[in-house]
Structure 1
Amino acid sequence: MTSSISDWIWSERFWLPENVTWADLEHPPPGVEYPRIRHLLYALPLAVIVFLLRLLFERLVAKPCAHILQIQAGVPRQAQPNAVLEKAYQSKTSPDTRQLEGLCKQLDWDERKIQRWFRVRRNQDKPGVQKKFCESMWRLTFYLGIFIYGVRHLWVSPWTWDTRLCWDNYPFQHQSPEQFIHYAAELSFYWSLMFSQFIDVKRKDFVIMLVHHLATIFLITASYANNMLRAGSLVMCVHDASDVFLEAAKMANYAKYQRLCDGLFVVFSVSFFITRLVIYPFWVVYTVLVESWEIVGPYQSWWLLNGMLLVLQTLHIIWFYLIARIAIKAVFKGKVAKDSRSDIESSSDEEIYSSSGKDPGQALKPKDVGHTGSLNGEAHDH
């Protein structure tokens, strides 16, 4: 039973070009190494190590930096203890009209007072500015490090400059140690995000980000399995580039350096446009879609991977529209608009404000099936 399921999942007819088998990839010539799917199992223990490194980094590096920048952890306003409302909150954090009416009768409170209690209680569960700063600093460190590593490897690779070489003798292409490290680092990072998402305070886009992480893990694993390492490395590096500026802008926002935040967000917008709307479609997608068709020819998993790359390009266009709106406001109005999925809720009845210290506004829902220009929430996008 298990064997038949495995054979179905890893069907040679689906994953590999015509007349190529897994056995062909199991026995490379002397001095040549082909990717083997079992090697990606190393990413799971590595993900645990990455998660532990994140905890140490936030404790020993990010928090001291936050203190230097006078970013306080902050103690959220505590909701008035009430067993009835707490029970209702545990079942549904935002009660509908019918529930509100029932709670009003049960407690003899007016509806406005109950709504205010739920708002305060929701904010009580939100992460503080210092925590978000530490998370962004960790992501900035990872994205910057992996981007530099990727560029260093790709710069000396001939197939970076002549993308037709991505398909030379495909799929019988040697896997270099640098390619494996790049893949293992990216995959372990996204597995670690999967772990931390269930441990960290849940945000509004929990389900969306969960789907995003799963899709990213699938794409990395699939491209490794059928030895699309050359094109896959290009995809990962292109997507990491703009993330560096986004996380830097978020950190500046949390530290209340508004002008620096605005400037970094504009740089992020420009880098996003260049990498996602120019380099990605006309360089990376072109080679995977057109040049591979000419040199290798399509096969079943080829359609799947190209379809996902084109869907991602569609999302890039949508995200850039949202980013551009915020960048224009930053240039002409002098401040970056607040993310519409902000971790802090506000109302005229409470003194609960965004991390910038200004009255909150509504503007954007980004990054990756969760990503674009979000400055007050999580953001990823690969």
Structure 2
Amino acid sequence: MDQGMVCAMRTPWLWNTRHCWYNYPYQPLTTDLHYYYILELSFYWSLMFSQFIDIKRKDFGIMFLHHIVSVFLLTFSYVNNMARVGTLILCLHDSADALLEAAKMANYAKFQKMCDLLFVMFAMVFITTRLGIFPLWVLNTTLFESWDIVGPFPSWWIFNLLLLLIQGMNCFWSYYIIKIACKAVSKGRAGKWNPLHVSKDDRSDIESSSDEEDSEPPGKNPHTATTTNGTSGTNGYLLTGPSSMDD
């Protein structure tokens, strides 16, 4: 994300998205944009393969579809010289990831208040960027400004259909983020709830929870439980509750 923001900050199309389409498709591809694309493409390829060796979650299918669409969009926009608007899309979608990973680390380190704060920040950034800025800023330029400046062309239809599919996934994950937060509050854990460790996380097949632990007979160690996927929990926290929400 940092490299993408550095690249974007020096470009005129960050401040005026119509520059994404001026003189298209005869736009020079700068070295920094080239390497940024290569870095992002390798990242999404790695996610696609690592998903098969990670804990299988309920949203495995849509997550796999997201990785496929992302790889195809990166390749498609690079080949069709849509790197300018592609850079904006990448920066926007990467903006919330750092907060989610930081919240996970705070959860594993048992810094409860820090975890809560980071998750709230993540949820606000995610919903603002994916449901607000992305459709009003990016989709506006790919659908309408490009039509006015360049006009429709075969790649235009494919590119925008894929972006609308991405937006559908954004709505799906936003719904789950809000649902997890609301479920935690409804359980009566306001002020002490852990958004990454709520009981029966909707995204996880691991069904052990703090409620189940409370029902264990006295003297029984809850840490000896195993996950429903047959794994022993590589990070030590999967044994005491559902896995944290993935990005």
Whether TM exceeds 0.5 here: the answer is yes
Choose from 56, 64, 71 the match for 1:210: 64
Q: Which residue of 1 aligns with 2:36?
A: 182
2:237 is matched with 355
Distance 1:211 1:318 in 2: 13
Residues 258, 356 of structure 1: 8 Å contact kept: no
Of 263, 272, 277, which aligns to 2:126? 272
For 2:232, the equivalent position in structure 1 comes to none
Write the distance in 1 (CA, Å) between the matches of 2:54 and 2:27.
43
CA distance in 1, matches of 2:18, 2:89: 15
Higher helix share: 1
* Identical columns (%): 47
Deviation at 1:247, TM superposition (A): 1.1
> Aligned equivalents of 2:65 and 2:166: distance in 1?
13
Question: 1: CA distance between counterparts of 2:131 and 2:155?
Answer: 24
Decide which of 27, 46, 49 is 1:173's aligned counterpart.
27
The alignment's C-alpha RMSD in Å is 2.6
Aligned equivalent of 1:260 = 114
Once the two structures are superposed, the pairs formed by residues 194-233 of structure 1 within 5 Å of their partners are 194-198=48-52, 200-204=53-57, 205-233=59-87
| Offset of residue 277 of structure 1 | 1.7
Counterpart of 1:342 in structure 2 is 204
Cα distance 1:165–1:201, how it changes in 2: closer, same or farther (>3 A)? closer
Q: After TM superposition, give the deviation of residue 310 of structure 1 in Å.
A: 1.7
1 CA distance for matches of 2:117 and 2:90? 25
Residue of structure 2 equivalent to 1:332:
190
Question: What residue is the counterpart of 1:248 in the other structure?
Answer: 102
AA in 2 matched with 1:177: T
Max radius of gyration: which structure?
A: 1
Q: Deviation per CA, 1:324-369: give whole Å up to 9, x if none.
A: 23345469353113533336443667833892886x47xxxxxxxx
Which segments of 5 or more consecutive residues in structure 2 lack a partner in the other structure? 227-235
Q: Is the 8 A contact 1:253 1:355 kept in 2?
A: no
Cα distance 1:149–1:163, how it changes in 2: closer, same or farther (>3 A)? Answer: same
Structure 1 residue 284 displacement after superposition: 0.9
Cα distance in 2 for residues equivalent to 1:340 and 1:317:
15
- Please state how far the C-alpha of 1:212 moved relative to its aligned partner: 2.3
C-alpha distance after superposition, 1:25-57 (max 9, x if no partner): xxxxxxxxxxxxxxxxxxxxxxxxxxxxxxxxx
Hey, what's the Cα distance between the residues in 1 that align with 2:48 and 2:130?
Answer: 24
Partner SS state of residue 290, structure 1: helix
Cα deviation per residue 1:147-202 (whole Å; 9 max; x = unaligned)?
1111111111011101101000100001000110110000011112233334x345
Taking structure 2 as the reference length, the TM-score comes to: 0.78
Separation in 2, partners of 1:178, 1:307: 27
SS in structure 2 of the partner of residue 332 of structure 1: coil
- 1:256-335 pair list within 5 angstroms: 256-328=110-182, 329=184, 332-335=190-193
Which residue type is aligned with residue 157 of structure 2? W
3-state SS in 2 of match to 1:168? coil
**CA offsets per residue over residues 297-321 of structure 1, 9 Å max, x none?**
1112211211221222233233223
Tell me how far apart the structure 2 counterparts of residues 148 and 167 of structure 1 sit (CA, whole Å): 24
